[in-house]
Structure 1
Amino acid sequence: MKVLSVSSEVFPLIKTGGLADVAGALPIALKRFGIETKTLMPGYPAVMKVIRDPVVRMRFDDLLGEPATVLEVNHEGLDILILDAPAYYDRSGGPYLDATGKDYHDNWRRFAALSLAGAEIAAGLMPGWRPDVVHAHDWQAAMTPVYMRFYPTPELPSILTIHNIAFQGQFSAEIFSGLRLPPQAFSVEALEYYGNIGFLKGGLKTAHAITTVSPSYAGEILTSEFGMGLEGVIASRIEALHGIVNGIDHEVWDPATDAVLQTHYTGATLKNRAANRAAVQEFFGLHDDNAPIFCIISRLTWQKGMDLIAACADEIVAMGGKLAILGSGDPALEGSLLAASARHPGRIGVSIGYNEPMSHLMQAGSDAIIIPSRFEPCGLTQLYGLRYGCVPIVAHTGGLADTVIDANHAALAAKVATGIQFSPVTASGLLQAIRRALHLYTDQKVWTQLQKQGMKSDVSWEKSAERYAALYSSLAPKGK
């Protein structure tokens, strides 16, 4: 079977969040099921800089007003189709934001172009290859099934995965003519959303199947609390909705072989984590003592609960913990966390920015990772924590609730607990979870059991890839 995946970011080429990890890992996991995946993505400067020996597969003289070329490369086991359109993607900022942190004014055109290119490939316009199924990811690729629906050739089956429904790609109705779609596409059964245009909404109405990145999140987005205004649209497609939890790449995330670690280890050699702990303490300027290190690796936003970390930082230190924080986001939250670090030198360390190698080292050297998200479709950092023996302390929501077994009395007695869950997602709820963690940490036998059980968890893509393979097969023409 042949699958075209369309994504705005793919690890290891470019990453701003978990979407890139999924788009990079799922195609590799699907190979064992005989599924050949080509992934279409934009040709950002960071991507064009690292690719080698690209092959021209097709050209567009006028892709929504600009010329573009589709290049094919093989990069670290991934078959990548790069949409090389300098007018859209050759910019000094990030994939979605300019150098000042604002959305590019033409994001609608940039990602409509990506989607239209995907629909053209799906229609068979790229010589020598046509997919059986198209898999689009998030609002940036959600126009792919919309273009497919209104394309003159027969429509292929399509899947849209919602990684975070909070990001919807909503734009003024004034852009409609620039999308080059027929008038009927501006309707409640496609793009129209309260008089404007919704890219994600259009994809939800036109894709043959909808997936979210955890079973719990699939249920949550049917409610007004988590559906972000699209709960009615989701409910109207409930028969097409599937919750499939993400996995992680076991080769990239393996404490026994991870090249960035100071020392490697397994569940049987947890004492070897000590050198990684020392490296984390040195990087963040933390005191070298026996106090537990709680790490945070996150976008610093309200959704991720980072205001709760800022509010609780003083008390976490007072209770005997240390904090190592890596991330970037809301400038006010960055400032609050940096201020907390200044108040508690040696107890709180903050590094503003994205640092992939350090994120690995933090999982290998910290004692626990705190993930206090107000909503979390799946989450990957808790899966990395489980894999690395860094005990997850998570809010009871979405994929966090699906992947971490709370260390309650029954779970501890049965030796199946892998972390700590808390609810409600408030400052007091978080502090109570930290108190529980500190109490468990005092009994190193119990804490070690938590670490070992977490490291036994199956957080690979194997089961999830099998579910995706079954979903593809259910949609694809018979015999594919």
Structure 2
Amino acid sequence: MKILFATSEAHPLIKTGGLADVSGSLPSAYTKLKNHVKLVLPAYGDIWEKVTVVRELTDFMVGGCNRDVHVRVFKAKAEGLQTPVWLVDVPDLFNRPGNPYLSPEGDDWWDNGERYAVFSKAVVEIAMNRVGLDWQPDVVHTNDWQTGLVPALLTLEPKRPQTLFTIHNMAYAGLFPKSLFESLQLPWHWWTPEGIEFYGNMSMLKAGILMSDWVNTVSPTYAKEICFPEYAYGMEGVLQQRQDEGRLVGILNGIDQDVWNPKKDHYIRRHYDSEKGRVAAKKENKKDLLRFWDLPEEVIESPTPVVGFVGRLVPQKGIDLVLEVIHDVLEQTDARFVFVGSGSANYEYALSELAHQYPNRVMVYIGYSEALAHKVEAGADMFLMPSRFEPCGLNQMYSLAYGTLPIVHHTGGLADTVVNATEENIKEGTATGFMFYDPSSHALKSTLLHALFLYTKTRTWQKIQKTGMSVDFGWKKSAKQYLDLFKKTDKKNKE
């Protein structure tokens, strides 16, 4: 199959979250299964220094906001990506440093609507083979609101490729005023509650959900959850409609086992696997992690457990629950905590204050560091992921691969990937982590204390570690499920 994979971010070129990890891995998995894949994304300013063998393929015009926009497409290679990268270059829209969606002040770029509408229109021109590339995909795989207009615009085309729209997070709807809809000259019949209008705004997310051949989320449980008001952000009607049509499915994300693998991770001090050197290596990696903060040697050498957290400091990730319980846990146990992340200023401040209050017990890094994220997975004993909702989550799978037992809330992909360490599951040899079922500070605290207690039971702990490390979360299985979807649609189209 020929697959055009359209995304707004892809690791290692540009990353704000899990979408980038998926976009950096799934296209390569498609390629390994003998498909012809092109990865297309905007040419942000910081990308140019990360690509090689760059050459211009074509240029053309698309409609922006009451203007025509000149688009150039460059082909490039990037280390770690097995697929060719096609960069959509519109300098005045995308050649900006830093976060792809936010200004240096932390606000959404004022012209995000036009930016991703122009990107989507460029993807459609490529997909319809109208720009002289002599290549037309069988499938266009789009991701999140930034590419939501792609499947919508393709419904206007005869002999179009089939489309898949993947929802990585329902919380971001891509909402823009009616004035943008008008200035982009989109079809007027779309401006209805049954179309892409959403409470007086245009929703690019709704466009993708409503008008693609298939919609999927990145875990089976999240696909069910988003059909309920609690998780649907007002879009339960359209999601239930797609579910009733049999066009909404859940496919669990995989992880890149070339990047997240304790046997060959170049960021960590000592390599290991489930059978060889795990216990000694994790001790060394814990010391290496703690040395990042220049702690006293007696702290670094201490055998006390380390609980890690890597993620956005926002309520979705349950950081408020952590802050409610951490004082009690620090008082009642000898555990240490490592936090790596950024987000709401009040949470950043609260964590920084904790680090001052408990200088040898709470270590905080405000920001994101890929190297430090790997060191946490390899060096921590437990990984804290108390998300209120989690479409899939990748860190819990990284943690399992590294023998770092995850502590998670029973939701979305967390429910699909972690087996709770109940007495029965431990006995049966299926337990891989710790789970709580009510997103409350009380439930989190009792689960965390239970995990810290089990940490003292060395043989039981190592048994759970080995079970988690033996689970295969590679992309091959997931990629095959996607390809089966495409074949199913292709068959129906031919009928």
| 8 Å Cα contact 1:66-1:87 kept in structure 2 | no
Q: Letter of the aligned partner of 1:71 in structure 2?
A: F
The structural deviation recorded for 1:63 is 4.4
Q: Does 1:22 align with 2:36?
A: no
Unaligned ranges ≥5, structure 1 = none
CA distance in 2 between counterparts of 1:49 and 1:340 reads 37
Q: Where do residues 5-404 of structure 1 align in structure 2 (5 Å cutoff)?
A: 5-64=5-64, 65-75=68-78, 76-126=81-131, 127-151=133-157, 153-238=158-243, 239-268=246-275, 269-270=277-278, 271-285=280-294, 287-288=299-300, 289-318=302-331, 319-404=333-418
| 3-state SS of paired residue (1:259) | coil
The structural deviation recorded for 1:299 is 0.4
Q: What are the superposed Cα offsets for residues 69-127 of structure 1, whole Å, 9 maximum, x if unpaired? A: 01112323121110111111112341000000000011000011111111111111132
Q: Letter of the aligned partner of 1:310 in structure 2?
A: L
CA distance in 2 between counterparts of 1:59 and 1:189 reads 35
The structural deviation recorded for 1:185 is 2.4
Q: Letter of the aligned partner of 1:215 in structure 2?
A: P
| 8 Å Cα contact 2:63-2:184 kept in structure 1 | no
Q: Letter of the aligned partner of 2:285 in structure 1?
A: N
CA distance in 2 between counterparts of 1:350 and 1:421 reads 24
The structural deviation recorded for 1:189 is 3.7
Quote the RMSD (CA, aligned, Å). Answer: 1.4
TM-score by length of 2: 0.94
| 3-state SS of paired residue (2:363) | strand
| 8 Å Cα contact 1:284-1:351 kept in structure 2 | no
CA distance in 2 between counterparts of 1:58 and 1:203 reads 27
CA distance in 2 between counterparts of 1:9 and 1:101 reads 18
Unaligned ranges ≥5, structure 2 = none
TM-score by length of 1: 0.97
Q: What are the superposed Cα offsets for residues 245-292 of structure 1, whole Å, 9 maximum, x if unpaired? A: 000011111101111111111112112122211011111355231211
| 3-state SS of paired residue (1:350) | strand
Q: State percent identity of aligned pairs.
A: 37
Q: 2:476 aligns with which of 458, 462, 476?
A: 462
CA distance in 2 between counterparts of 1:27 and 1:178 reads 34
CA distance in 2 between counterparts of 1:383 and 1:62 reads 41
CA distance in 1 between counterparts of 2:322 and 2:294 reads 19
Q: Letter of the aligned partner of 1:282 in structure 2?
A: R
CA distance in 2 between counterparts of 1:52 and 1:28 reads 18
| 8 Å Cα contact 1:190-1:203 kept in structure 2 | no
| 8 Å Cα contact 2:221-2:413 kept in structure 1 | yes
Q: Letter of the aligned partner of 1:155 in structure 2?
A: R
| 8 Å Cα contact 2:217-2:223 kept in structure 1 | yes
CA distance in 1 between counterparts of 2:425 and 2:170 reads 32
CA distance in 2 between counterparts of 1:290 and 1:272 reads 13
